[in-house]
Amino acid sequence: MPRLLAALLLLAAFACQAQTTPAPDTPLQRLRIVGGLGGITQYTRHEENFWARELAERTGGRYSASIVPFDRAGVPGQEMLSLIQLGVVPFGTALMSQMAMQFPELGTPDMAGLNPDIATLRRVVAAFRPYLAGALRERYGAELLAIYIYPAQAVFCNRPVARLADLAKRRVRVSSATQADFIRALGATPVYTEFAAILPNMRSGNTDCAITGTMSGHTLGLHALTSALYTMPLSWGLAVFAANRENLEALPPDLQAVLRQELPKLEAAVWAESERETTEGIACNTGADACTKPVRGRMTAVAPTPQDEARRREIFATRVLPAWLQRCGPVCAQVWNDTVGPVVGIRAPLVR
C-alpha cells in the first residue's frame, strides 16, 4: 500500500504538471526525469547536468527538465519498469540487478563474474542490447534510451585478502542474486544489503566484506572501516534509462530528435566517467597520488592473479550461469546462446 500510494502521488504530480499552462517566459515543455543513484559522479556531473542545464541550452530554452535520483524519489527500484509502463514515470532509470528480480534474463549482461574488464563489458552489452530493447518494448511499452554503468564492483574487506579463496567463511554484502551465487561458490555467506545500509552493516559487524563500486565505496567512507580492497570486477552495476513509449512519441518531433541525438553522448560520457573512476577509486582508497579527492584512505589493493582469473571463469561457467538458468527458465538458455554466449565463448545447454 505505501508503494501504491507513492506511485499515485507521483502520477498526480505529473498530471498536474501536464495540465499547467506555461507562462510566456517558461519553456514549451518541461520533462520530469527519474535518474540514477544520487550523490555519485555519474549522476551529479553527467545526468543532472544534462537534464537540469544542457537540455535547455541545446534547445534555445524551448525545453527543459528536472531530475531526481531514483534512490531519493520514493520509487521502489524493482517496480520502476511497471511505473514506466503505466506512465507514472515517463522517463526513469532502473538497475539491471533490480529488474532481474522479476525477469532474470534482463540482468544477463551484468551477471557476477562475467565481465573481468570494461572491454569485455562493452562487447557483452552491445550483443545484448537489441534483445533488451525489444523486451522492454514488448513487455512494458518502454523505449530503451541509454544504458549506464557504475565503476567496477570490487570487494572491500575488514581483514587482509591475498586471493579469491580468502573470502571463504566471510559474510559479504551483495546486491544481486548472481553476486550471491558467486559468493556462495567461494564458501562465503552472501548478505543482501541496500547501498545506503553498507556502512551501518559494516560497523555493526553484520558483514565482513562488501561488494560495491571502487569509487562508490570511497564516497561512502568504506576506506575508514576496511583495510583490504580486492580489485577483481565482480560486476559493474548496469542501469537502464527508458521512457514510456507513448509519452516519448507524444513529444514534439524536434525534442524527440534532440533526445535521440544527445542521449547516446550522455551514455558515452557516463561510461567514460565510470571507467576513469574505477581506477581513481582504487587510488583514493589506497592513498595513491592519482587520487584527486581531498580525502584518501590507506587500504591495501590486491589485484587478481592469473589463477584467480581462471577461478572466476570456472565459477561463472559452473555455478553462476547454471543457477541463473535455473531461475530464468528454458527460454534464457536460448537468449544467452543468441546474444552473450558467443562473445565470451561459453554455451548454455538447451533444456526442453
The pLDDT, as a whole number, for residue 352 is 58
The pLDDT, as a whole number, for residue 27 is 59
The pLDDT, as a whole number, for residue 78 is 76
- Torsion region of 237: left, alpha or beta (phi above 0 gives left; psi -120 to 50 gives alpha): left
Secondary structure letter of residue 350 according to DSSP: P
| 327 Cβ contact partners less than 8 Å away, ≥ 6 residues apart | 104, 177
Nearest to 303 by CA among 40, 117, 111: 117
Dist CA 121 CA 110 (whole Å): 8
- The HSE-up count of residue 320 (CA atoms within 13 Å, CB side) is 27
Model confidence over 211-247: pLDDT tens digits? 999 998 998 999 999 999 999 999 998 999 999 999 9
Chain centroid to CA 192: how far?
Answer: 16
Nearest to 150 by CA among 184, 123, 175, 181: 175
Label residues 233-253 b or e (16+ Cβ within 10 Å = b): bbbbbbbbbbbbbebbeebee
Task: Decide: 209 and 183 in contact? Cβ < 8 Å.
Answer: no
Cell of 92: 526513469
Dist CA 144 CA 89 (whole Å): 14
Largest CA distance in the chain: 66
Give the amino acid at 140.
Answer: Y
The pLDDT, as a whole number, for residue 51 is 97
Q: Assign 3-state DSSP to the chain and report helix, strand, coil percentages, each to 5.
A: 55, 15, 30
Backbone torsions φ then ψ of 340, nearest 5 degrees: -85, -35
Q: How many helices (H) and strands (E) does the chain have?
A: 16, 11
Indicate the angle between helix axes 118-140 and 253-286, nearest 10 degrees. 140
SS3 (DSSP) at 38? coil
CATH 3.40.190.170 fits 153-236+288-343, yes or no: yes
Q: Where in the chain is the domain with CATH 3.40.190.170?
A: 2-149+237-278, 153-236+288-343
Number of Cβ atoms within 10 Å of the Cβ of 73: 20
The pLDDT, as a whole number, for residue 11 is 46
Dist CA 319 CA 315 (whole Å): 5
Considering the segment(s) 2-149+237-278 as one domain, its CATH architecture is: 3-Layer(aba) Sandwich (3.40)
Judge if pTM exceeds 0.85. Answer: yes
The pLDDT, as a whole number, for residue 195 is 85
Q: Which residues of the chain have pLDDT under 50?
A: 1-2, 4-5, 7-9, 11-25
Task: Decide: 152 and 233 in contact? Cβ < 8 Å.
Answer: yes
Cell of 128: 545484448
SS3 (DSSP) at 67? strand
The pLDDT, as a whole number, for residue 98 is 85
